[in-house]
Amino acid sequence: MKPEKLRYDLKIIASWIEPESKVLGLGCGEGDLLYWLKKEKNVQERGIEIEESKVVKCIEKGISVLQGDINEEMEDYPDNAFDYAICSQTLQQVYEPSNLIHSMMRIAKMGVVSFPNFGHINVRMHLAFTGRAPVTRQLPYSWHDTPNIRVLSLNDFQKFSNQVGFKILKKAAINTTRTQHHGKMVTFLPNLFATYGIFLIGKE
Amino acid sequence: MSEYIEQNQTGGSVGIVAKQFFTFAEPPDLLNLESKSSIGPVIIAYETCGTLNPEKSNVILVLHALSGDSHVAGYYDPKDTKPGWWDIMVGPGKGIDTDKYFVICSNIIGSCAGSTGPSSINPETDKEYGTLFPHITVGDMVETQKALIDHLKIKSILSLIGGSVGGMQVLEWCVRYPDMVKSAIPLATTTKHSALAIAFNEVARQAIMADPNWNQGHYYSGKKPDMGLAIARMIGHITYLSDESMRLKFGRKLQNRSALSFEFGAEFQVESYLQHQGNKFIERFDANSFLYITKAADYFDLAGQYGSGSLVNAFSKCKSKFLVVSYTSDWLYPTYQSKEMVKAMKKSNMDVSFCEIDAQWGHDAFLLPNDRLDNLIRGFLRSASNET
């Protein structure tokens, strides 16, 4: 896979990762990001993914991956086993987000968290004008079948960092195109105009 | 562990293969065994497929399970009706691609398919060993395989692959010879038998030893304990299947009849299936070998032997990259046992991948055609060979 094939949000995450580092992908899917990091930045990669078919895809790519639940699997790693723990677009599906962040901060020196921004204008408009639970390109599910049980905005995450006790080291508010391979940074009113937020977090 | 199950013949074949023999530990240089006894000479039957590259860096050692043999793939003769026991996995373009890799498979010590075992002639008595054969362990099996690998002047193994008791040998290899093994794939296996697994083995052994023909293991000149061995195999087959697979395969279907006939013959299909498996088995397997190998499997305890009870310690010297695979319906070596192994490997900071394949066919699933396993093994071997 060529670097330009990587999804735009993953490209940003990838740009933050130091070469030769140890990286854990939480809910790593088919392993696109880990594969890219392994090839281009020579990282030592590990992934955790619950779906068997995706695990097989990772292993076919040569990615080291464990099939299992991310909370359960993280428990076995020693403290600071990784340089980075990446939780890309999974936070909104986690039952106990603060436990997840705590675990990430225990086993890795830094964490990367990304999620769809529930403060985006389309979400607000959808609710305001239809009076129904928002369904957007980034959050495409109906209220009754969504895996996204923790909808949050960029501002919510900032506030969460104070409550849970981690530092935001870097952040990127982005807006992606339909294919998600391209996008741009949002600097003007990011909580209103960014579709996704990406945060590099560290220990306090 | 049923081996030689009916299989699809898809993909290429390695063609004609020949069984070869390696003899070592000639007296007085006997092979010392973990049971504190020694034995020699030792013959190990083995087969190879594919071509060894000039760097000798493409070696894959396949370790067979309880009742397997060295005939992993291909045919001995064009007229053979069945290929080797893992022909679905080993061959040109298959999961273990013999166009790329040099595959070695040897028959374990204690078995009866060409390697030294209880049915071999004891040079001290000029008769079959019978139960004078010393007790063997999974570690002893690995020692004989190591002797073979040394004899073939191979210094490094790209990957070790084995299921069930073969998977135990994979683990033992990685712990004993961490510098020789680049990668390893233990399939449907465990680091130690549960009480349940020992219990089934013990009932199977008792069935053999209760057969009057067993004669304390010295039956080679007379009638063999066929009934005992057949029952042992039937018990084994129950553990290789699963509740689900038996329900789907047999349910309560009747065999060649439309109503119950109120007799002690095989009325239900599952009875007929088990009897058929038992009868097939006695044609190719030795009852004493069954006793010795099941004991070796029961003795296997990686944490106990190498880690003072801790699996993390046991794996601490391992350097191989691992792919651990379990099956959802395997109740002989259930997934939790593979997960314990994986957990210890993670704590030892090892490079390990784990996949639980959703399959209804119980423990035997690893021998059945499954694209997912092919892809897993193919991808894992590709990444293991790139890194060497």
Ordered structural domains, chain A, with CATH: 3-117+150-203 (3.40.50.150)
Q: Which residues of B touch A46 (CB under 8 A)?
A: 351
Radius of gyration of chain A (CA): 16
Per-residue pLDDT band for B8 (boundaries 50, 70, 90) equals very low
Beta bridge partners of B45: B21
From the list A52, A59, A81, the residue facing B323 with the nearest CB is: A59
Residue with tokens 């292993």: A59
Whether residue A59 and residue B346 make contact (CB cut-off 8 A), yes or no, is no
CB contact under 8 A, B356 and A52: yes
Give the catalytic positions of B in this structure.
164, 330, 363
Comparing CA positions, the residue from B136, B197, B145 lying closest to residue B170 is B145
As to burial, measured by CB atoms within 10 angstroms (0-12 exposed, 13-18 middle, 19+ buried), residue B340 is middle
The answer to whether the CB atoms of B347 and A62 lie below 8 A apart is no
Looking at A135-139, B237-241, B266-270, B312-316, which range is the least confident one?
A135-139
In chain B, pLDDT over 90 holds for what percent of residues? 91
Q: Which of B323, B322, B321, B330 is nearest to B368 (CA)?
A: B330
As given in the structure block, the two tokens for residue B122 are: 């004891």
Determine contact: B354 vs chain A, CB below 8 A.
yes
Q: Measured between CB atoms, does B388 come within 8 Å of chain A?
A: no
Q: Nearest CA to CA, how far is A49 from chain B (Å)? A: 10
Q: Is A47 left (phi over 0), alpha (psi -120 to 50) or beta?
A: beta
**A77 contacts on B by Cβ (under 8 Å):** 346-347
Which range is least confidently modeled, A94-98, B46-50, B182-186, B215-219?
Answer: A94-98
How far is Cα B63 from Cα B139, in angstroms, rounded to an integer? Answer: 13
pLDDT (average), residues B129-135: 98
Question: By three-state DSSP, how is residue B304 classified?
Answer: helix
Please say if the pLDDT value at position B11 is more than 90: no
- Put simply, the answer to whether B343 touches A68 (Cβ < 8 Å) is no
Confidence of residue B368 (pLDDT cuts 50, 70, 90): confident
Does the pLDDT of residue B5 top 50, yes or no?
no
Closest-CA residue to A80 (of A112, A49, A110): A110
Residues of chain A with Cβ-Cβ distance to B356 below 8 Å are 52, 67
Q: Give every residue of chain A whose pLDDT is below 70, as ranges.
A: 1-4
Contact B355 A56 (CB under 8 A): yes
Alpha carbon distance A27, A72 (integer Å):
12
Chain A interface with B: residues with Cβ < 8 Å: 44, 46, 52, 55-56, 58-68, 73, 76-78, 81
Q: Provide the residue type at B264 as one letter.
A: F
Interchain contact, B383 vs A77, CB within 8 Å:
no
Say yes or no: B360 contacts chain A, CB-CB below 8 A: no
**Distance in angstroms (rounded) separating the CA atoms of residues B252 and B239:** 18
The answer to whether the beta carbons of residues A56 and B376 sit under 8 Å apart is yes
Q: Which of B323, B343, B372 sits opposite A76 (nearest CB)?
A: B343
A56 with B372: Cβ contact below 8 A: yes
- CA-nearest residue to B312 within chain A is A76
List chain A residues with CB under 8 Å of B95. none
Nearest to A59 among B343, B347, B355 (CB): B355
Structural domains in chain B?
20-193+301-386 (3.40.50.1820)
Of B169, B81, B63, B80, nearest to B72 (Cα)? Answer: B63
A with B: how many residue pairs have Cβ under 8 Å apart? 61
Q: Is the pLDDT of residue B2 over 80?
A: no
Beta strand A22-26 pairing with A82-88: parallel
Over residues B255-264, mean pLDDT: 92
CA distances to A124, B188, B277, B350, B383 from B337, in Å: 49, 9, 28, 18, 26
Instruction: Please report residues of A whose CB lies closer than 8 A to that of B184.
Output: none
pTM assigned to the model: 0.93
Do the chains contact at A66 and B354, CB–CB below 8 Å?
Answer: yes
Mutate: best of B187, B311, B354, B381, partner A, most A CBs <10 A: B354
Residue B370's pLDDT band, with cuts at 50, 70 and 90, is confident
Q: Which residues 318-337 of chain B have a CB within 8 Å of chain A?
A: 321, 323
Q: Per the CB < 8 Å rule, is A62 touching B382? A: yes
Kindly report the average pLDDT of chain B as a whole number. 95
Task: Identify the pLDDT of residue A121.
Answer: 95
Taking CA atoms, what residue in B is nearest to A78? B347
| % of chain B surpassing 70 pLDDT | 97
A150 close to A94: Cβ distance less than 8 angstroms: yes
Residue A67 is nearest to which of B351, B356, B375, comparing CB atoms?
B356
Q: How many Å lie between the alpha carbon of B179 and the closest alpha carbon of chain A?
A: 20
Name every chain A residue with its beta carbon within 8 A of the beta carbon of B383. Answer: 61-63
Judged by CB atoms closer than 8 Å, whether chains meet at B372 and A62 is answered as no
Burial of B168 (0-12, 13-18, 19+ CB in 10 A): buried
Query: Per-residue pLDDT tens for B133-155?
Result: 999 999 999 999 999 999 999 99
Give the range among A161-165, B84-88, B173-177 with minimum mean pLDDT.
A161-165
Give the mutation candidate from B97, B338, B355 for the A interface (greatest A CB count, under 10 A). B355
Residues of A in contact with B382 (CB under 8 A): 62
Out of A44, A62, A65, closest to residue B386 by CB: A62
Going by pLDDT thresholds of 50, 70 and 90, the confidence category of residue B3 is: low
- Helix-, strand-, coil-residue percentages of chain A, each rounded to 5: 35, 25, 35
Q: What is the per-residue pLDDT across B303-352, written as a single tens digit (0 to 9) for each?
A: 999 999 999 999 999 999 999 999 999 999 999 999 999 999 999 989 99
Question: Residue B187: its chain A contacts at CB < 8 A?
Answer: none
Angle at B189 between CA B183 and CA B192, to 5 degrees: 110
Other beta carbons within 10 angstroms of residue A168's beta carbon come to 15
- Omega before B28 cis (within 30°)? yes
Cα separation of B73 and B256, whole Å?
A: 34
